[in-house]
Amino acid sequence: MQTEVIVVAAGSGSRMGSAMKKQYLPLDGAPILVRTLQTLAACPTVDRIVLVVAGDDVQFVTELIEAYHLHKIGDVVYGGMERQDSVRNGIAALRHDTEVVAVHDAARPLVTADEVEAVLTAAKLFGAATLGVPVKDTIKRVDQGQVRETLQRSDLWAVHTPQAFKCEWLAEAHMRAWEQGYFGTDDASLVEWAGYPVTMVEGRYSNLKVTTPEDLVIAEALWKQRKG
Ligand code: CTP
Ligand code: MG
């Protein structure tokens, strides 16, 4: 069964506020994107990676692939305005015989091979799956500075990537979302909206998305601790 991973790395990293885009910032000496790609390439189930980057970064990323001897990179394609557009461009570059596809944020370099394998296995069994963790904080809905609602914490999970799907489900959900102007902040929400069930696979709190400067400090500490 052919399995591909779309790695989205075409964001501008505005919340990080760094001169260099966050996916290229170093994590223990190598770019975050490189750390992410190395882990994915080391997963036995992953056959091929489609990498989505900003048009201006293609040359630089091609050099990174050579310099770090990165394996399994099939295509490097251009991203779009929103993450959803970048994933759609990645879907267009998938091979026709691919049955299962995972989508992963380049900005999650701490994902582990066993997490990737777990979500791929669940997608093969059930059609769609996402990694996630139970939320630790109480979550409230706030509008104009006023608390409107306190949500039941025991029902809430923070969603990570990779998220993995039967290829047809993801492609159909993205196509319909694009046609009908539906917007979601992750791929599972599009697949849910398209009417398919999504299985939650419990991951680790360490699989954080490097989003703001403090995340980088935590990610670096976790990475070094893992190295021992
Ligand atoms: N991404 C992408 N194309 C976009 C926007 C985001 O490929 N148009 C990617 C990012 O590179 C990142 C992942 O999607 O790996 C998750 O997005 P996020 O953490 O929001 O990254 P950015 O959009 O770059 O950051 P920000 O929202 O702070 O600008
Ligand atoms: Mg973003």
What is the value of pTM for the model shown?
A: 0.98
Checking ipTM against 0.90, whether it exceeds it is yes
Distance 185 CA to ligand 2 centre (A): 9
Three-class DSSP labels, 155-215: HCEEEEEEEEEEHHHHHHHHHHHHHHCCCCCCHHHHHHHCCCCCEEEECCCCCCCCCCHHH
For the chain, give every domain's residue range: 2-131+161-227
Residue to probe by mutation, ligand 1, list 105, 130, 214, most atoms within 8 Å of CB: 105
Bridge-partner residues for 4, per DSSP? 48, 101
Q: Report whether residue 14 contacts ligand 1, using a CB cutoff of 6 Å.
A: yes
Distance 186 CA to ligand 1 centre (A): 11
Q: Report whether residue 12 contacts ligand 1, using a CB cutoff of 6 Å.
A: yes
pLDDT tens for the 228 residues of the chain, in order: 899 999 999 999 999 999 999 999 999 999 999 999 999 999 999 999 999 999 999 999 999 999 999 999 999 999 999 999 999 999 999 999 999 999 999 999 999 999 999 999 999 999 999 999 999 999 999 999 999 999 999 999 999 999 999 999 999 999 999 999 999 999 999 999 999 999 999 999 999 999 999 999 999 999 999 988
Q: Which residue, 215, 170, 39, 38, is CA-closest to 114?
A: 39
CATH number of the domain at 2-131+161-227, please?
3.90.550.10
Q: Report whether residue 10 contacts ligand 1, using a CB cutoff of 6 Å.
A: yes
Q: Report whether residue 102 contacts ligand 1, using a CB cutoff of 6 Å.
A: no
